[in-house]
Structure 1
Amino acid sequence: MSDKPEQKLSDNERIKGQSNFLRGTIAEDLKDDLTGGFNGDNFQLIRFHGMYQQDDRDIRAERAKQKLEPLHNVMLRCRLPGGIINPEQWLAIDAFAAEHSLYGSIRLTTRQTFQFHGVLKPKIKMMHQMLNKVGLDSIATAGDVNRNVLCTSNPVESQVHQQAYDWAVKISEHLLPKTRAYAEIWLDGEKVESTDVEPVLGSNYLPRKFKTTVVIPPQNDVDVHANDLNFVAIAEDGQLVGFNVLVGGGLAMTHGDKSTYPRKADDFGFIPLEHTLAVAEAVVTTQRDWGNRSNRKNAKTKYTLERVGVETFKAEVEKRAGIQFAASRAYEFTGRGDRFGWVEGVDGKHHLTLFIENGRILDYPGKPLKTGCAEIARVHKGDFRLTANQNLIIAGVASEDKAGIERLAREHGLLQDNVSSQRVNSMACVSLPTCPLAMAEAERYLPDAVTELEQLLDKHGLAEEHIIFRVTGCPNGCGRAMLAEVGLVGKGPGKYNLHLGGDRNGTRIPRMYRENISEQEIMAELDTLIGRWAEQRHQQESFGDFVIRSGVVKPVVNSAKDFYD
């Protein structure tokens, strides 16, 4: 079921096919001290090991004037299914970030894990060995593979969460690459004289990146419609009994290319728990075999579904898994934000969710966030949970330890009482200065943009309200702006496309309202629209619903067909 078999394969297919199961010449390249970067195919291959080569774009021009190469370094993304990490692991990553990265920070991401930024070539192997020592790795967190598996964070039904989290781990392990390349290169693993076999991913791996989630209604905190494969937990009498399976979501697009678009996932139906891994494998292998390997812009699962038809794809999954989907069980999403402050689980333990703006854990003047997290880790007896909204949960706190944990959080600026509803419902990708794809600011722009948005809400008598607001520095979707009520997509320095009309539950894609406009023009437009919202909205009507009902923008009903209409 290939796209056009006669078409020439993309060069990434050559790279994967000639890589000796992702080894390439990375081990030899590490010894090359003439450059701080990776050569040839290795630039791409290190992604399968969880790293991207980057440089500091703020100083790129100055280094060029000095006839120096860019300050090459890598960003590493850890594999952390469900986002759970223990205090020992936290202290290890805290120490490495402080001692061996250019920026000294820990960055919590929208993929429910952490990233190191600015690790120079001589420190890379040390970084992987540190992770391995504490039971972590970065296998398959980038590249054409199934990436870090997300799971709803800290719901009230914690027994169901534990069961769902266990499945997130099982799915992650089942879909991992089987090659020993990671162990051989980074951990000095013994080279085994045997042929590598990739029974699920195949010798050329997947046509494009693949993202999987496990979500527990009523929270849609993992944004299911941003992902290729989603397992929606269905519980009965407080126990997980199966999943509704949603396939084919994705948010990335390319400016100026109408063959690319964001797309919501389709609901294939319900499966009992015992079929979970078989269905996961069947979806992945169908995409492996049917996905477009000629045009990477159309290689994601969403485009395969559009090309072959949803029912055809679904029937193939059923055939490969040896099952038939039952009718989907009823569920409802009522929100997707994190629940801040203390929440008590059914086991009597307490969980403290902390708002971390942009997910950037670093010591700031008057707010030593990184030091505070380390101080908590030294006394905490539970674990930490990273959320897909870039926040941090101190989980599993006994009643007698609550006061001490809260005191440390307040002393270090991790817990504040005056954070607005708008700020906690805003998010951005990293973007400049480290992301090579960034066209405009995102993380560095967000705090000031939110302040302006807060002022507009206050001006129109809506200070207690909020708008799901997201900024991404390019159209690749890392900040999930294509599921926001107001989404900004970077177009150039200080310029964005303004998208409106998503909903609060993450089930509607916003439509472009204005193209390539400045930060000042964006706020002027929002000033007018928020004023109309304040005057004309129905009771409790959200901003995204208002702009649809009032005709400011048409709803995106079928993203493949009408996103650009």
Structure 2
Amino acid sequence: MPKVGAMAKKDVETIKAESGGLRSSLAEELANSDRFFSGAAEKILKFHGVYQQEDRDARKQDRTADHHQFMIRTRLPGGQLTPEQYIAHDDLASNYGNNTLRITTRQDFQFHGVLKGDLRETLRELNHALVSTLGACGDIVRNVMACPAPTADPQRRAVQDFSFELTRALYPRTNAYHQIWVDGEAMIDEQVVEDPLYGKTYLPRKFKIAIAYAGDNCVDVYTNDVGLVAIFDAESKLKGFNLLAGGGMGMTHNNDATFARLGDEIGFITPEQVVETVKAIVTIHRDFGDRENRKHARLKYILEDHGVEWFRAELENRVGFKLQPFEPLPLFQVEDHLGWHEQGDCCWFIGIPVENGRVVDRGNYRLRTGLRAIIEQFDLPVRLTAQQNILLTNIHPDDRGAVDAALAKYGILTIEDITPVRRRALACTALPTCGLAITEAERVLPGVIDQLEDVLDELDIADSGITIRMTGCPNGCSRPYVAE
């Protein structure tokens, strides 16, 4: 197999600084016949929402051949899609992917098995459906999560809308993405404008944000770099947000300087202060994050090394106002929003369990075919959950019976068909596509759950609601460190 990137190795910070606003040599390398990108271009490719991978099963069988392929991750604030956007994803999974869609634990979709020659057309068609991949990966603010449950309550809808407002405010200001993937223009601007928020080297590492309601922690809000918990007053009006900072799951085996960490309670902010405050926290990460050691570069290590009081003072200095005290919170529940629920506007939504987030047809279980048929027939908007499940929304009461019949027709399982332990299980992708995986996760978890269900039945505790989260490496994309 040919070697990838014969160039002298550069550190990631140098690669970012020399990328020309996230251009690197992507356009030039798209035009060559190689099945892979060079080392520097491969690093910048991540900012565009694309990971270079290999089929590790195929590589194990034949190490002389080239098994490069790509994973594309879309950016879907709050996990929300229109019916047309869902259909566009489904089409692309057939045309360029491996005939599956994968729901991530951050409310995104991923395509797997895309070849280099199909990257431009895949990203172009996504953008034509008003879906971007820019910032879905890389050292930048990733997809902004929010509780996906549809609601007619304008106050709660306003909370969900912050996922879009923050996405717009924190979106990278480069035109390289559209030039390379959408417009097809390979030329580099004579004057590359430095991003006003991120600078030319962007962030030291990735940055994750989640928005939750008090009492409903379906997004695992404490595991994010920034967490916002909506607080309502006695009249159910949005009062503001409790602010958390410094959470994160990633760690490295046998390295005590790295660890999973829950976010610290920083203070309380009003709705009008949200965007300014979060942008200021991003700049703290930008300015104080460790750019020498990427394993120690997340925001959580700034909190750990400097302390909450230092962080709060630095944040207040940057925003120019004092944070209010952190508001008392009720006990959190982790709602998965599965099953039938009223939206409050005369319509209903149904949450469909998707084992390990893999939307696929297998035998009589025709999840992918059935979801598409139902979404097309009833013109249903879609929302993805942090538990890798899917919500079909805006269902008219008169259509509930027809939707149930369609689910049965395609063999799609509902919450009545699965055990509590399977309902609460999560797994990352792991082998054979993730380059960081050191073991299995998604492919073996169903079998593990089969065995566990038998044991729980024998012990008469099958309804205990145990949470199982399996990860293929210590980075913990399935959030295993907060399973219970």
2:129 matched to which residue of 1? 134
Using the alignment, how far apart are the partners of 2:159 and 2:367 within structure 1? 30
1:529 matched to which residue of 2? none
Root-mean-square deviation over aligned CA pairs: 1.6
2:111 matched to which residue of 1? 116
Q: 1:333 to 1:72 in 2, by over 3 A?
A: farther
1:74 counterpart SS class:
strand
Aligned pair partner of 2:346 in 348, 356, 360 = 348
Aligned pair partner of 1:231 in 216, 228, 238 = 228
Using the alignment, how far apart are the partners of 1:46 and 1:178 within structure 2? 16
2:218 matched to which residue of 1? 221
Aligned pair partner of 1:375 in 373, 390, 393 = 373
Using the alignment, how far apart are the partners of 1:333 and 1:27 within structure 2? 51
Shift of residue 377 of structure 1? 1.6
Using the alignment, how far apart are the partners of 1:249 and 1:143 within structure 2? 18
Shift of residue 410 of structure 1? 2.1
Q: Mapping of 1:262-277 within 5 angstroms?
A: 262-277=260-275
Q: 1:132 to 1:106 in 2, by over 3 A?
A: same
Q: 1:336 to 1:161 in 2, by over 3 A?
A: same
Using the alignment, how far apart are the partners of 1:158 and 1:131 within structure 2? 31
Using the alignment, how far apart are the partners of 1:242 and 1:194 within structure 2? 41
Contact 2:150–2:349, Cα closer than 8 Å, also in 1:
no
1:14 matched to which residue of 2? 14
Give deviations 1:75-124, integer Å, cap 9, x for gaps.
011010000001111111111101211x2100011010100001001110
How many equivalent residue pairs?
472
Using the alignment, how far apart are the partners of 2:332 and 2:283 within structure 1? 33
Shift of residue 207 of structure 1? 0.4
Aligned pair partner of 2:315 in 308, 314, 317 = 317
Aligned pair partner of 1:203 in 192, 200, 205 = 200
Shift of residue 381 of structure 1? 3.2
2:465 matched to which residue of 1? 466
2:140 matched to which residue of 1? 145
Give deviations 1:464-500, integer Å, cap 9, x for gaps.
112111000000110111111xxxxxxxxxxxxxxxx
1:28 aligns with 2:35: no
Give deviations 1:309-344, integer Å, cap 9, x for gaps.
211111111111122111122222432141221100
Shift of residue 255 of structure 1? 0.5
1:358 aligns with 2:356: yes
Using the alignment, how far apart are the partners of 1:135 and 1:166 within structure 2? 17
Contact 2:150–2:393, Cα closer than 8 Å, also in 1:
no
Using the alignment, how far apart are the partners of 1:313 and 1:95 within structure 2? 46
Q: Which of structure 1's runs of 4+ aligned residues deviate more than 6 A? A: none
1:284 counterpart SS class:
helix
Aligned pair partner of 1:68 in 65, 68, 72 = 65
Stretch deviating more after TM superposition (440-449 or 338-347) = 338-347
1:550 matched to which residue of 2? none
Contact 2:211–2:227, Cα closer than 8 Å, also in 1:
yes
Contact 2:152–2:345, Cα closer than 8 Å, also in 1:
no
Q: Could you tell me which amino acid in structure 2 is paired with residue 127 of structure 1?
A: T
Shift of residue 278 of structure 1? 0.5
Unaligned runs of 5+ in 2: 1-9
Stretch deviating more after TM superposition (188-197 or 438-447) = 188-197
TM-score normalized by the length of structure 2: 0.95
Give deviations 1:215-266, integer Å, cap 9, x for gaps.
1121111111221001111122233221111000011110000011111100
Q: Could you tell me which amino acid in structure 1 is paired with residue 170 of structure 2?
A: L
Contact 2:80–2:148, Cα closer than 8 Å, also in 1:
no
Using the alignment, how far apart are the partners of 1:449 and 1:397 within structure 2? 35
Contact 1:234–1:244, Cα closer than 8 Å, also in 2:
yes
Q: Could you tell me which amino acid in structure 1 is paired with residue 229 of structure 2?
A: V
1:87 matched to which residue of 2? 83
Shift of residue 193 of structure 1? 5.1
1:561 matched to which residue of 2? none
Q: Mapping of 1:160-559 within 5 angstroms?
A: 160-188=155-183, 194-236=191-233, 237-416=235-414, 417-484=416-483, 503=484
Stretch deviating more after TM superposition (288-297 or 215-224) = 215-224
Contact 2:219–2:386, Cα closer than 8 Å, also in 1:
yes
Stretch deviating more after TM superposition (365-374 or 149-158) = 149-158
Shift of residue 197 of structure 1? 2.6
1:287 counterpart SS class:
helix
Using the alignment, how far apart are the partners of 2:123 and 2:478 within structure 1? 26
2:154 counterpart SS class:
helix
1:96 aligns with 2:92: yes
2:49 matched to which residue of 1? 50
2:73 matched to which residue of 1? 77
Give deviations 1:138-175, integer Å, cap 9, x for gaps.
01011100000000121667433311121111111111
Q: 1:410 to 1:323 in 2, by over 3 A?
A: farther
Using the alignment, how far apart are the partners of 2:399 and 2:379 within structure 1? 9
Shift of residue 62 of structure 1? 2.4
Q: Could you tell me which amino acid in structure 2 is paired with residue 29 of structure 1?
A: E
Stretch deviating more after TM superposition (54-63 or 332-341) = 332-341
Shift of residue 196 of structure 1? 1.4
Q: Could you tell me which amino acid in structure 2 is paired with residue 152 of structure 1?
A: C
Using the alignment, how far apart are the partners of 1:370 and 1:89 within structure 2? 15
TM-score normalized by the length of structure 1: 0.81
Shift of residue 352 of structure 1? 0.2
Using the alignment, how far apart are the partners of 2:314 and 2:37 within structure 1? 40
1:234 counterpart SS class:
strand
Shift of residue 304 of structure 1? 0.9
Q: Could you tell me which amino acid in structure 1 is paired with residue 137 of structure 2?
A: A
Give deviations 1:516-551, integer Å, cap 9, x for gaps.
xxxxxxxxxxxxxxxxxxxxxxxxxxxxxxxxxxxx
Contact 1:159–1:239, Cα closer than 8 Å, also in 2:
no
Give deviations 1:169-199, integer Å, cap 9, x for gaps.
1111111110111011101166655431311
Give deviations 1:384-429, integer Å, cap 9, x for gaps.
0000100000011111222222221222222332200110111100
2:7 matched to which residue of 1? none
2:6 matched to which residue of 1? none
Using the alignment, how far apart are the partners of 1:413 and 1:197 within structure 2? 52
